[in-house]
Amino acid sequence: MNEIAFQAKQINLKEKVFKKTLTLSAITVVVILLAIFFTLLINSMPSIKALGGKFFYDKTWDPVADEYGALPFLVGTLLTSFLALIISTPFSIAVAIFLGEYYKKGVVAEIFKNVIDLLAGIPSVIYGFWGLFVLVPIVRTIELKLNLPPYGVGIFTSSVILAIMILPFSVSLSRQVISMVPSHLKEAAYSLGATRFEVITKIIIPYTKSGLFAGLLLALGRALGETMAVTMLIGNTHQIPTGIFSPGNTMASVIANEFSEATGKIYTSSLIEMGLFLFVVVTIINILGKQVIKRFTL
């Protein structure tokens, strides 16, 4: 009798420990996230205090002279990301329509789906390496034809690589929303004599436009924080880019290049402030995107 009571007690104890562990681990994730935010915030305090808003509109970045203006990198980040988005959007929508409407099932669909998935699986550093040896010479010849200084590296080269890298992210979402369009809507249009082209442009795209937009947002979030490939291809200069072929720098690549060598409190802290900025912007974009998807699926 005593034995059983003892066993029951032990099981109860284990039960409690198990449930507590579950709850605790869930709390841990939230705590980790908050800790990430506050670590960034606290460590960028020295630079926020010393530089204030000047950080974002001062255009000289000269650690030797103790001047930290992040404007060139802000411009570089926005320029590469949006250019990449512009390049990749027509293709991502084409692939999404291909996989979501024309070839939903079958061997062709499987092959293309796997290829796009693999595109997402290739490491950033390999994209950069490939870009350095294949894309840069191509861009250089284009620049020579256009009578521009033949850097090869620069905003344009980075944007092309970024466009390839973010394609799978917008495709995966857009494909899902396109295949979710209710078939009675499409059938109604077909029964009125619409061609497939008309069904796609007049029914599917208007119906899915918020979902497609969310796909673009998520891809933009990826592009903003992408580091290695861009670091290898952008040229790493500290000037504001003058055109899409000129070299530049992005926030992520400045951090990658200079963080481990940064000496001095303000220098390190201003790099962390850029990290904070990236974190906040990317987080807002991701939450917005998720919100749009949630409304779409409801």
Partner 1 sequence: MQIEKQIAHRNKKNKIFKGVIIAGTVISTLPLLLILFYIFRQGITAINWQFFTNLPKPVGETGGGVSNAIVGSILILLVSCVIAIPVGIIIGIYLSEVAKSRLAYYCRLAVDVLQGIPSIVIGIIIYEWIVRPMGGFSAFSGSVALALMMLPSIIKSTEETLKLLPESLKEASLALGVPYYKTILKIIVPSGLSGIMTGVILSIARVIGETAPLLFTAFGNPFMSTDIFRPMSSLPLIIFNYATSPYSDWHQLAWGASMLLILMILILNIITKIVQRKWKVQF
Residues 135-194 that bind partner 1 (CB under 8 A): 164, 167
3-state secondary structure of 203: helix
CA atoms within 13 A on the CB side of 60: 6
Nearest CB to partner 1, comparing residues 79 and 255:
255
Q: Give every CB contact of residue 132 below 8 A, 6+ residues apart in sequence.
A: 153, 232, 233
If one asks whether residue 283 binds partner 1 (CB under 8 A), the answer comes out as yes
If one asks whether residue 112 binds partner 1 (CB under 8 A), the answer comes out as yes
Read off the tokens for 43. 């460590």
CB of 218 to partner 1, least distance (A): 8
Rounded alpha-carbon distances, angstroms, from residue 261 to 189, 225, 231, 252, 267: 62, 21, 16, 15, 10
If one asks whether residue 265 binds partner 1 (CB under 8 A), the answer comes out as no
> Using CB under 8 A, which of the segments 126-134, 151-159, 180-188, 207-215 binds partner 1?
126-134
Nearest CB to partner 1, comparing residues 151 and 279:
279
CB of 230 to partner 1, least distance (A): 10
Nearest CB to partner 1, comparing residues 137 and 243:
137
Question: Which secondary-structure segment (H or E) carries 270?
Answer: helix 265-297
If one asks whether residue 86 binds partner 1 (CB under 8 A), the answer comes out as no
Q: By CB under 8 A, name the one of 1, 29, 65, 192 that touches partner 1.
A: 29
Question: Binding to partner 1 (CB under 8 A): which residues in 40-69?
Answer: 40, 43
If one asks whether residue 85 binds partner 1 (CB under 8 A), the answer comes out as no
Report the Cα 181 to chain-centroid distance in Å. Answer: 26
Nearest CB to partner 1, comparing residues 25 and 297:
25
Q: By CB under 8 A, name the one of 50, 63, 67, 130 that touches partner 1.
A: 130
Question: Binding to partner 1 (CB under 8 A): which residues in 214-253?
Answer: 221, 224-228, 232, 252
Nearest CB to partner 1, comparing residues 49 and 294:
294
Estimate the crossing angle of helix 2-51 against helix 265-297, to 10 degrees.
120
Question: Which secondary-structure segment (H or E) carries 108?
Answer: helix 107-121
Estimate the crossing angle of helix 205-225 against helix 71-97, to 10 degrees.
140
Q: Give every CB contact of residue 110 below 8 A, 6+ residues apart in sequence.
A: none
Nearest CB to partner 1, comparing residues 132 and 148:
132
Residue 292, φ and ψ in degrees, nearest 5: -60, -45
Query: From CA 261, how far away is CA 267, in angstroms rounded?
Result: 10
Q: By CB under 8 A, name the one of 6, 9, 28, 66 that touches partner 1.
A: 28
Residue 194, φ and ψ in degrees, nearest 5: -70, 145
CB of 67 to partner 1, least distance (A): 22
Nearest CB to partner 1, comparing residues 147 and 260:
260
Do 131 and 154 contact (CB within 8 A), yes or no? no
Q: By CB under 8 A, name the one of 191, 260, 263, 297 that touches partner 1.
A: 260
